Amino acid sequence: MERKEFRELTSVEDARELVDNIKVQPQVTVLPIEEAAGHIIAEDILSGLDVPAFNRSVKDGYAVRAKDTYQASEPAPTELKVIGAIPAGCEDSFFVDDGEAVEISTGAPIPEGVDAVVMVESTKQSGDSLFVYLPVHINENIMRAGTDIMKGERILRKNTRIGSREIGVMASIGMDKVPVKKLAVGIISTGSELIRPGEKLGISKIYDANSYAIAAAIEECGGTPRIYGIVRDEEKLMEEALDRAISECDIVLTSGSTSAGAGDIMYMIIERKGETLTHGIAIKPGKPVVIGMINNVPTIGLPGNPTSALSIFNEFVAPIIYNSLGVKPSFKTKITAVMGTGIRSGGREELFPVGVVRGKVYPADKTSGAITTLSDADGIFEIRPHTEYIEPGEEVEVTMFGNVRSPDLMLVGGQCPGIDLLEEMTGLTFRTLNMGSSAGFTAMSGGIADIACVNMVDVDGNYNSSVLKRMNLDNVVLVKGYRREQGLIFTPDNHIYGLEDIINLQIINRNRGSGTRALLDREMGLLAEGKGISKSEMIKSLKGYNSGSKTHRSVCDAVKSGKVDVGFGLRAAAEEAGLEFIPLAEDEFDFVIRKDLLEIEEIQNFLAVLRSEEFSKKLPEGISTYEMTGSIISSF
């Protein structure tokens, strides 16, 4: 098989122009009003009736002839005779004469003979006598037929996206069926490694994220997704799926198999069945994209990587859906923000996922290939071609994802249930990147984090200050947090009484850079010293030492499932998981905070909660505050 190489990439500008010219004709279908939200109205909606259909009262009170009240005043009320009552929905007819009144409810029809409604608050009734204390003018508190919507009036424009307001307006003119545009967009996920969510994950398999993420994205644009499911990397199967989708849909999207790897054959199939308009766009993430046309059906091969697939969808597929439906994209909010850190670019046009915290932009591009890149991001920042570096402090424009609430504080570092409690009690939204203490220090020096959450012990048993000194961090303070019991975590059928007992067992370790891992290293070092052997020799005897679980909870999961015999971590996590725990050490979990943020409301709130008695009480078993909690012990 000939391998495709990306020698000539289409520029982003050319690719945009290309998709701007692709348009398909959607179908029109009629939906029950209950199901119409989110769709696009296919034709102008004219009202077939007046709303309201009759003159109605807008207040609870009494229907009267206005002129009868002109003399009324507080000291000298006018007396009228009450001849009946009209509740809402009343079908009885009344005629009201001079000197008479009828009790009337909000929304009830105005009877014959009257021209105003006096509010109940301006009256007093005694038997069938009504005393009116305030004059009303003609038409006061009456809504005339058709004042809301007039018969024949256009109430909604074609191509409007249907939301709660539109549904309300259509229901109020009695519509129960709504003509909407229907653009069927098929999705085929390719890859022999894919498994449907909900099914058991086999060896070297991953769950199919794209079918669902892309379906949701299609819906957000007003299209109708059709999921064709997973197709293994076999030419014949792919072709069959494509044929079916093309015969049933207006636009077809595939994911995976677009790059130049062995087995990546989607572009060849598209090429053979129709016409390839472009293969490869000069953009990152997601260069390997194919845009083609098969039997007049736009067919787009998205990259397999979920983050790339979604970015490419937003950039080059959403416009086709919008063009075809005749709507303008409604959810792209652009904001101007300031780079919180520098970003280096490869000189290509790049769509860079970024987080935006209090107006500062930082890269959210942890590693490409992770769907969490997008869920940790608040928007996309477009790096122009030939840009090598964007300075911190530079003003940039960020296209925000729909419906995201920007976080209030950015925390990077070790993971701890205490942080979840702090988030809950401050009422703030944290973006927490659980990447271990080392990453916390690094993010701090790079200006990305507001707070680094750290529990890094040095050889002398000191927590965190020595690392801060060694890293030459400046403009930060070290705030002491709390103490946490760390120890061995295992199931009751394992007989473990101390660190020595784990030597021939299968263990699960924490990720490199995690403070908890460093603590285990230190404990093993002390044990080795007692035995008169070297630390590295000691560590060699541990099975599974090189594993790297990212959270306390995942350590417990591995122990519970029986995959390993023992783990090392928090008592709080062990107890939550119902596992045995032997304490070995107490660590100190601290917070490094940027000095220039100390006075801002969010940090003040954070510190106040940390120092509060209530926080101390609510901490789970095995985590406790002490006299140093919340104090700033050093400033760098």
Residues that bind ligand AMP (CB under 6 A): 189, 191, 193-194, 206, 208-210, 255-259, 261, 264, 303-306
Structure tokens at 635: 């400033």
By CB under 5 A, the residues from 301 to 360 that bind Mg ion are 304
Residue 209 binds which of Mg ion, ligand AMP, none (CB < 5-8 A, kind-dependent)? ligand AMP
Nearer to ligand AMP, 141 or 307 (CB): 307
Structure tokens at 290: 């194919």
Residue 235 binds which of ligand AMP, Mg ion, none (CB < 5-8 A, kind-dependent)? none
Q: How far apart are CA 22 and CA 277, in angstroms?
A: 11
Residue 481 binds which of Mg ion, ligand AMP, none (CB < 5-8 A, kind-dependent)? none
Nearer to ligand AMP, 191 or 436 (CB): 191
> Cβ distance 242 to 252 under 8 Å?
yes
Peptide bond into 52 cis (omega under 30): yes
Nearer to ligand AMP, 260 or 503 (CB): 260
Q: How far apart are CA 242 and CA 74, in angstroms?
A: 81
The nearest distance, CB 307 to ligand AMP, in angstroms, is 9
> Cβ distance 79 to 164 under 8 Å?
no
Nearer to ligand AMP, 48 or 261 (CB): 261
> Cβ distance 51 to 148 under 8 Å?
yes
Stretches 178-186, 300-308, 521-529, 572-580: which one binds Mg ion (CB under 5 A)? 300-308
Residue 625 binds which of ligand AMP, Mg ion, none (CB < 5-8 A, kind-dependent)? none
The nearest distance, CB 264 to ligand AMP, in angstroms, is 6
Among the listed residues 47, 224, 254, 257, the single contact to Mg ion using CB under 5 A: 257
Nearer to Mg ion, 187 or 538 (CB): 187
The nearest distance, CB 303 to ligand AMP, in angstroms, is 5
For residue 496, which phi and psi values (nearest 5 degrees)?
Answer: -125, 130
Residue 432 binds which of Mg ion, ligand AMP, none (CB < 5-8 A, kind-dependent)? none
Q: How far apart are CA 8 and CA 14, in angstroms?
A: 12
> DSSP states of 593-614 as a string?
EEGGGTTSHHHHHHHHHHH-HH
Residue 258 binds which of Mg ion, ligand AMP, none (CB < 5-8 A, kind-dependent)? ligand AMP
Nearer to ligand AMP, 123 or 189 (CB): 189
By CB under 5 A, the residues from 180 to 199 that bind Mg ion are 191
The nearest distance, CB 284 to Mg ion, in angstroms, is 19
Structure tokens at 389: 């570096």
The nearest distance, CB 286 to ligand AMP, in angstroms, is 10
The nearest distance, CB 187 to ligand AMP, in angstroms, is 9
Nearer to ligand AMP, 316 or 591 (CB): 316
Q: How far apart are CA 235 and CA 226, in angstroms?
A: 21
Dihedral (Cα; 437, 442, 444, 448), 10-degree rounding: -110
Residue 22 binds which of Mg ion, ligand AMP, none (CB < 5-8 A, kind-dependent)? none
Q: How far apart are CA 103 and CA 91, in angstroms?
A: 14
Q: Which residue is nearest to ligand AMP (CB)?
A: 304
Q: How far apart are CA 383 and CA 342, in angstroms?
A: 12
The nearest distance, CB 256 to ligand AMP, in angstroms, is 3
Q: Directed axis angle between helix 601-611 and helix 417-426, to 10°?
A: 120
Q: How far apart are CA 466 and CA 480, in angstroms?
A: 14
Nearer to ligand AMP, 259 or 514 (CB): 259
Residue 305 binds which of Mg ion, ligand AMP, none (CB < 5-8 A, kind-dependent)? ligand AMP
For residue 192, which phi and psi values (nearest 5 degrees)?
Answer: -70, -10
Nearer to ligand AMP, 264 or 365 (CB): 264
Long-range Cβ pairs for the range 8-13 (8 Å, 24+): 8/280, 9/280, 9/281, 9/282, 9/287, 10/278, 10/280, 10/281, 10/282, 11/281, 11/282, 11/349, 11/385, 12/281, 12/282, 12/283, 12/315, 12/349, 12/385
Residue 261 binds which of ligand AMP, Mg ion, none (CB < 5-8 A, kind-dependent)? ligand AMP
Nearer to Mg ion, 39 or 279 (CB): 279
Residue 306 binds which of Mg ion, ligand AMP, none (CB < 5-8 A, kind-dependent)? ligand AMP
Q: Collapsing DSSP states into helix, strand and coil, what is residue 244?
A: helix
Nearer to ligand AMP, 24 or 209 (CB): 209
Residue 311 binds which of ligand AMP, Mg ion, none (CB < 5-8 A, kind-dependent)? none
In the shown chain, the binding pattern of residues 359 to 378 toward Mg ion, with x for contact by CB under 5 A and - for none, equals: --------------------
Among the listed residues 26, 225, 256, 274, the single contact to Mg ion using CB under 5 A: 256
Q: How far apart are CA 507 and CA 559, in angstroms?
A: 9
Determine which helix (DSSP H) or strand (DSSP E) holds 526, and give its type and residue range: helix 515-531
Q: Which residues bind Mg ion (CB under 5 A)?
A: 191, 256-257, 304
